[in-house]
Amino acid sequence: MASSLNSAASLRLFASSSSSSSSAAARLSLRSTSLSFSSSLKSLAFSTLSRHKRGSAVSVSSTGGFSSVASPKCAASDPDQLKSAREDIKELLKSKFCHPILVRLGWHDAGTYNKNIEEWPRRGGANGSLRFEVELKHAANAGLVNALNLLQHIKDKYSGVTYADLFQLASATAIEEAGGPKIPMKYGRVDVSGPNECPEEGRLPAAGPPSPADHLREVFYRMGLNDKEIVALSGAHTLGRSRPDRSGWGKPETKYTKDGPGAPGGQSWTVQWLKFNNSYFKDIKAKRDEDLLVLPTDAVLFEDPSFKVYAEKYAEDQETFFKDYAEAHAKLSNLGAKFNPPED
């Protein structure tokens, strides 16, 4: 475990894996508020702030691990604590090189959303359910217990921040600190209260389905996303590595990953796999480097006629990619979320 926490963890956003994960959950001390602001937090534009009221808490186990005990129902997060939590996340990124796995954590919490189900939290989405063991054991979430362990001390320190908000804050901050665009985030997501409210397994995409284009559309259309957003979000694979022991994909190591940073190994999609840019699209299009990973769901972006329009554009124009990515990431981070107070 120690080596995992010191590694630049592998990333396959929304990909299946055969591994199972350790237990998760945590202590939760809650406050109610509503807020809206850019994840850069350089300027805050909070709307209709409610008074903060501390709630009951669930303790972390004496071993320091996570438990699957239900947490009390929570309200929105404290804006001052969110600002401080973001600064702590930035320091964590500098020391652990964990940008990829934090992006994946936020995506996998939000990516269970089903637009055809109205009821919260049965519809899935960004609700903090990924902290529970039952969901961590889903094949697509292999290794994400490491992300929870990385963030738990921040959650303990800022008990007025919900898990749902913390996961999305960490994901957006990781993108920005890796050189990516500023994400127009908002906060105030309510957490689910227990593991019985986790979504069923099977809502996240696989890496190598028989028909990659059909599979991507089936999964992402269910979330309410379109072809442009599918391609833009795929560009986040400019970050991270795939480890065969987790996902079943990629090489054990390459010339780009054998020396880390962090624990060595895995296969990256790009040469500079901790830098967010449009190289993912350039490298897939070129197909010149056998040490770079190209999954079936990556290759199809330049094979499917509709996907190809956007993939070609992003390979040529990083500014357009950044704009479209920021919008798609923000939309994804809000999927299925219940905000307190409710959105207009």
- How does pLDDT run across 158-198, given as a tens digit for each residue? 999 999 999 999 999 999 999 999 999 999 999 999 999 99
Question: What percentage of the chain exceeds 70 in pLDDT?
Answer: 78
Residue 25 to residue 155: CA distance in whole angstroms: 11
| Residues labelled as active-site residues | 108
- Average pLDDT of the chain? 83
- Claim: this prediction has a pTM higher than 0.95: no
pLDDT number for residue 310: 98
Which single residue is written with the structure tokens 């665009």? 181
pLDDT number for residue 344: 62
pLDDT number for residue 14: 57
- How does pLDDT run across 248-270, given as a tens digit for each residue? 889 999 999 999 887 899 999 99
Q: Is the pLDDT of residue 93 over 80?
A: yes
Identify the CATH homologous superfamily for domain 212-329.
Peroxidase, domain 2 (1.10.420.10)
Pair of tokens at residue 217 = 């559309």
- Fold entry, domain 79-203+335-339: Peroxidase; domain 1 (1.10.520)
Q: Of 96, 108, 106, which Cα lies nearest the Cα of 39?
A: 106
Task: Say what angle helices 99-110 and 145-157 make with each other, to 10 degrees.
Answer: 90
Question: What percentage of the chain exceeds 90 in pLDDT?
Answer: 70
Is it true that 79-203+335-339 and 212-329 share their CATH fold? no
**Beta strand residue intervals within the chain, DSSP E:** 35-36, 186-187, 241-242, 267-268
Q: Of 165, 174, 161, which Cα lies nearest the Cα of 80?
A: 161
- 186 touches 331 (CB < 8 A): no
Domain spans of the chain, in order of start: 79-203+335-339, 212-329
- How does pLDDT run across 267-312, given as a tens digit for each residue? 999 999 999 999 999 999 998 899 999 999 999 999 999 999 999 9
- How does pLDDT run across 195-227, given as a tens digit for each residue? 999 999 999 998 788 999 999 999 999 999 999
- Taking the mean position of all CA atoms in its chain, how far away is CA 143? 13
Q: What is the mean pLDDT of residues 325-336?
A: 98
Q: Is the pLDDT of residue 12 over 70?
A: no
SS3 sequence, 103-151? Answer: HHHHHHHHCCCCCCCCCCCCCCCCCCHHHCHHHHCCHHHCCCHHHHHHH
Residue 237 to residue 96: CA distance in whole angstroms: 19
